[in-house]
Amino acid sequence: MELKEKSVLAREGIIRLYKITNSSGASVMLSNVGAGIVSIKVPDAKGETDDVVLGYKDPADYVKDDACMCKVPGRYANRIAGGMFTLDGREYRLEKNNNGNALHGGSFNYSKRIWGSKSQGSKVVFSLESPSGDSGYPGALSVNVSYTWNEENQMTIIFEASTKAPTVLNLTNHAYFNLAGENAGAEACLAQKLQLYASQYLPTGETLIPTGKLVPVAGTPMDFTMEGGKPLGRDIREDFPALKIGKGYDNCWVLDSWSPAKLTKVARLVSETSGRVLDISTTQPAVQVYTGNYLSGSPLNPEGRPYNDYDGVAIECQNFPDAPNHPNFPTSVLRVGETYRQKIVFSFSTLGTE
């Protein structure tokens, strides 16, 4: 296993890039901007290597984008209704940065910040101190996010945090995948087959806030439970409320076999064109699938091409959106003396070798 570091001087500060390469030549590149993923290069069925996550040509673009490109949002990934929640009898008001709601922790969320970083063999650890009152959230928070790459082409992400006062927390990585290659485009992405180990989803209102109900996917375009998966684009234009609201998929599914701290299968994504397969597991209770419905206008991709909508799909393991306002959802509360710890594992293989 080989780890190389380099630094890029930008107006926002020193951007540090870490590349971990295993003995087969498969690699990941990570950045201290948003504790993010810059690239994941893995072979296809013919042994040809390509990058399978979307990214930007200029490392500095990761600081100012709105797509949260392959980075860690926070303090609360996804949405909180009306930018408000009550904790221990006290009401907290957050920045409203998305249709009257709080999204991903505000306009200067964790994904736009330069994190502390250090390398440890095949692991890179990013750290961030988030003060009390940060974007309206209570409690001074210490966050660590570690990435490990191994010989089996598995990336393991571990999120850990502690607080000095009760707060709410929901962390994920907002990676966008295209297993045909990051420059393959929307048609190739929407042809890829997704299987979710989730038979319920969270319907939302017009601003993508959950209603509080858990609804079966059976008989709807939200059903991705079939063995072998369903093409992302097969039902994306259906006349169905969730798809019309978001201009595609931007919804949360509830994992069937989840229990706290248990590593559970989330999803399988397959590109029959390239033969690449991505299996995802997590300790989180849910997964948000976002088909890149508003990627247009993002910074240029590594080849210098403007992004189009649907060029990649984000599969974000996380807690339920708006959980602080729904007592029936898994708790998002972190208290003094507790350690927040969640894991995501991305496993890459090819058809016939999984």
pLDDT per residue, tens digit, the chain (354 aa), is 899 999 988 887 899 999 999 999 999 999 999 999 999 999 999 999 999 999 999 999 999 999 999 999 999 999 999 999 999 999 999 999 999 999 999 999 999 999 999 998 889 999 999 999 999 999 999 999 999 999 999 999 999 999 999 999 999 999 999 999 999 999 999 999 999 999 999 999 999 999 999 999 999 999 999 999 999 999 999 999 999 999 999 999 999 999 999 999 999 999 999 999 999 999 999 999 999 999 999 999 999 999 999 999 999 999 999 999 999 999 999 999 999 999 999 999 999 876
Question: For residue 317, what are the β-bridge partners?
Answer: 287
316 among known catalytic residues: yes
Handedness of CA 266, 268, 289, 204 (dihedral sign): negative
Is the backbone peptide bond immediately before 75 cis, with ω within 30 degrees of 0? yes
Q: Which of 104, 174, 182, 326 is catalytic?
A: 174
| 282-316 per-residue burial string, b: 16 or more CB within 10 A, e: under 16 | bbbbbbbbbbbebbeebbebeeeeebbebbbbbbb
Q: Indicate the residue type of 38.
A: V
- 44-to-47, 49, 122, 250, 350 alpha-carbon distances in Å: 5, 6, 23, 28, 6
Fold of 2-350: Beta-galactosidase; Chain A, domain 5 (2.70.98)
Could you tell me how many residues make up the chain?
A: 354
Who's near 327: CB < 8 A, 6+ residues apart?
Answer: none
Q: Which of 104, 182, 316, 326 is catalytic?
A: 316
326 among known catalytic residues: no
Residues 303, 229: contact at Cβ < 8 Å?
Answer: no
The domain segmentation of the chain, as residue ranges, is 2-350
Residues 212, 326: contact at Cβ < 8 Å?
Answer: yes
Per 3-state DSSP, what percentage of the chain is helix, strand, and coil (rounded to 5)? 10, 40, 50
Q: How many CB atoms lie within 10 A of CB 328?
A: 9
Spatial separation of the C-alpha atoms in residues 49 and 331, rounded to whole Å: 41
Helix (H) or strand (E) holding 123: strand 123-130
- 277-to-64, 98, 223, 349 alpha-carbon distances in Å: 31, 33, 20, 5
* Tokens describing residue 214: 């858990």
Helix (H) or strand (E) holding 119: strand 116-120
Residue whose C-alpha is closest to residue 327's, from 175, 210, 230, 157:
210
Residues 67, 298: contact at Cβ < 8 Å?
Answer: yes
Helix (H) or strand (E) holding 186: helix 186-191
